[in-house]
Amino acid sequence: MRAQPKASHFINGEYVEDTAGNVIECVYPATGEVIARLRSATPAIVEQAIASAKAAQKDWAKMSPTARGRILYRASQIIRERNRELSELETLDTGKPIQETIVADSTSGADAMEFFGGVAPAALNGEQIPLGADWAYTKRIPLGIVLGIGAWNYPQQIACWKAAPALVAGNAFIFKPSEVTPLGALKIAEILTEAGLPKGLFNVVQGDRDAGPLLVNHPDIAKVSLTGSVPTGRKVAGAAAGQLKHVTMELGGKSPMIVFDDADVESAISGAMLGNFYSAGQVCSNGTRVFVQKGIKDQFLSRLKTRTEAIRMGEPLDEATQMGPLVNRSQREKVLGYIEKGKAEGATLLTGGGIPNDVSSEGCFVQPTVFADVTDDMTIAREEIFGPVMCVLDFDHEDEVIARANATEFGLAGGVFTSDMARAHRVVDALEAGTVWINTYNLCPVEIPFGGVKQSGFGRENSLAALNHYTELKTVYVAMGKCEAPY
Ligand code: NAD
């Protein structure tokens, strides 16, 4: 098995196994080859991870932010040096093409380590509050043990995006990767250890849907940061609320992308393709409802069809491949089911719509698919598909499209393509979304906050804003005179 790690879990600076755990089979989605076999965590593994995190956290919190940041910075350098190896592993784990993983996965994890390592010495300051003769000050203090739970689409990135702000703020971190893509986080653990992170501060605990709640419900976990679907978010936030734990919820979406008549059409098509076909459409912030103003509809659809049909699907490890398979068979069946619903409910299939011929029959490939003439009530326009399926809807007026764009329970992201900047900002203000792009789509550099509103979640990842979600304030009132009392 070409990607078998030394053991399933990484606890207290070393690989750990418990053969009593359920088997997790890792499959390369492009061929069906089993690349590793891991074990889900038993209660004993969970206890071991918590105990080591607890033992390590207090001393870590006493270190200066500069000293903690230096370790993260070292880790960022090692990640960049090993980018090829990490990207190949990410491709095997997820099926995403190496063309993408080499630029978007471990490198964005390194960005987070570098950014939070660098800003920590200044960003964790408290404030001094004058109160006349008296005064007060605040301290930004860590929460304790933070649990990160990952989705399967960006395993290494999610591990780093959550761990970097949590660790630099003085917390210990336990990561439970998705059981579908469990491999990358183990390498991040190795790298952090090599960079000098004291043992116990970054533990990886593998687990399926049974092991997740063991961690979430553990009383020693102070915070849960989940990236996953809305139904999982409801369960995890509900369980955390029972013990009043802090939570960050990075959940699903059905984001609108609005293309006005005056947009640069080729650029808008690029945005729509990036926001629907990157990672074979398995990106939470994708602009899966593409609203196109009627004046440019024909031109938009004709060029979109030509460009979509030119996408190269195939073996993800081949540098020339632009789109790989979906992550597994069940995701492929789900996506094909939505495509059938789109056809049955009367959308026009512009291109794609099935399994390509010229790829491994054991792979989980689905053609890049575009539906036109989609209406707001169709299932494909309402539910998150999480596959390479773009829905194009028509519109006439700005007010109309804003109302329709917002008519969803989700609020993760949105996009607007126009050459009228006053209109762009007006639309941005009106859209109910955590992130909105003007004349581009899905760019998420570490400097900018990322997260959702409405059912897409709460809390923010990246940027200085993330540090607020991994710390709390301690307020200290300093009396300069005697304590006065009315009795
Ligand atoms: P999922 O909700 O099925 O699983 C997410 C994680 O939660 C997995 O690790 C899973 O094992 C765990 N889990 C499931 N039930 C649990 C429970 N009861 N307690 C604790 N843990 C539990 O999501 P997925 O299919 O892996 O990923 C796809 C979803 O993630 C999509 O909806 C996508 O939009 C979303 N996503 C959101 C973001 C974001 O930043 N907003 C990013 C990537 C993916």
- Residues 264/330, Cβ–Cβ less than 8 Å: no
The pLDDT of residue 476 is above 90: yes
Question: Tokens at residue 158, please?
Answer: 């999610």
- Residues 330/179, Cβ–Cβ less than 8 Å: no
The minimum-distance atom of ligand 1 relative to the CA of 452 is: 41
Q: Model confidence at 135, in pLDDT bands (50, 70, 90)?
A: very high
Question: Tokens at residue 275, please?
Answer: 């926001």
Q: What is the pLDDT of residues 178-187, one digit of tens each?
A: 999 999 999 9
The pLDDT of residue 62 is above 90: yes
Q: What is the pLDDT of residues 8-33, one digit of tens each?
A: 999 999 999 999 999 999 999 999 99
Q: Model confidence at 432, in pLDDT bands (50, 70, 90)?
A: very high
Triad 8, 283, 184: Cα angle to 5°: 20
The 3-state DSSP class for residue 71 equals helix
Query: CA separation (Å) from 463 to 177, 215, 226, 445, 460?
Result: 23, 27, 18, 9, 8
The 3-state DSSP class for residue 193 equals helix
In sequence order, which residues have a C-beta less than 8 Å from that of residue 333 and are 6 or more positions away? none
Nearest CA to ligand 1 atom 14: 209
Q: Model confidence at 174, in pLDDT bands (50, 70, 90)?
A: very high
User: Measured in angstroms, how far is the CA atom of residue 225 from the centroid of ligand 1?
Assistant: 11
Q: What is the pLDDT of residue 359?
A: 85
User: Measured in angstroms, how far is the CA atom of residue 150 from the centroid of ligand 1?
Assistant: 6
DSSP-derived letter for residue 101 is H
Which of 227, 235, 450 for a ligand 1 pocket mutation test, highest count of atoms within 8 Å of Cβ? 227
DSSP code per residue over 199-262: TTSEEE----TTHHHHHHT-TT--EEEEES-HHHHHHHHHHHHHTT-EEEEE-----EEEE-TT
The pLDDT of residue 326 is above 90: yes
The minimum-distance atom of ligand 1 relative to the CA of 231 is: 2
Query: CA separation (Å) from 371 to 78, 342, 352, 357, 439?
Result: 43, 8, 9, 20, 22
**Residue 281: beta bridge partners?**
none
The pLDDT of residue 5 is above 90: yes
Whole-number Å distance between alpha carbons of 189 and 221: 19
- Residues 127/156, Cβ–Cβ less than 8 Å: no
DSSP-derived letter for residue 40 is P
Tell the burial category of 127 from Cβ atoms under 10 Å away from its Cβ (0-12, 13-18, 19+).
exposed
Compute the half-sphere exposure of residue 378: CA atoms within 13 Å on the CB side of its CA: 25
The 3-state DSSP class for residue 326 equals coil
Tell me the average pLDDT across 191-201. 98
Tell me the average pLDDT across 200-229. 96
Count H helices and E strands in the chain, helices first: 16, 20
From start to end of 86-238, where are the E strands?
128-131, 134-142, 145-149, 172-176, 202-204, 223-227
Q: β-pairing, 34-39 with 23-27?
A: antiparallel
Tell the burial category of 332 from Cβ atoms under 10 Å away from its Cβ (0-12, 13-18, 19+).
buried
- Residues 298/345, Cβ–Cβ less than 8 Å: no
- Residues 183/207, Cβ–Cβ less than 8 Å: no
Catalytic position from the list 162, 176, 223, 254: 162
Q: Tell me the pLDDT of the chain averaged across its residues.
A: 97
The pLDDT of residue 358 is above 90: no
162 part of the active site: yes
Q: What is the pLDDT of residue 314?
A: 95
- Residues 434-450, buried b or exposed e (16+ Cβ, 10 A)? bbbbebebbebebeeeb
Q: What is the pLDDT of residues 99-124, one digit of tens each?
A: 999 999 999 999 999 999 999 999 99
250 part of the active site: yes
Helix spans in 281-328 (H): 297-309
26 part of the active site: no
Taking the CA atoms of the chain, what radius of gyration do you get in angstroms? 24
Which of 96, 232, 331 for a ligand 1 pocket mutation test, highest count of atoms within 8 Å of Cβ? 232
Nearest CA to ligand 1 atom 35: 228
Nearest Cα to Cα of residue 415 among 377, 387, 441, 443: 441
User: Measured in angstroms, how far is the CA atom of residue 179 from the centroid of ligand 1?
Assistant: 10
Q: In angstroms, how far apart are the furthest CA atoms of the chain?
A: 87
Whole-number Å distance between alpha carbons of 185 and 187: 5
- 412 ligand 1 Cβ < 6 A: yes
The pLDDT of residue 210 is above 90: no
H/E element holding 464? none
Triad 91, 71, 92: Cα angle to 5°: 5
The pLDDT of residue 360 is above 90: no
The residue behind tokens 């579908």 is: 180
The residue behind tokens 């990561």 is: 175
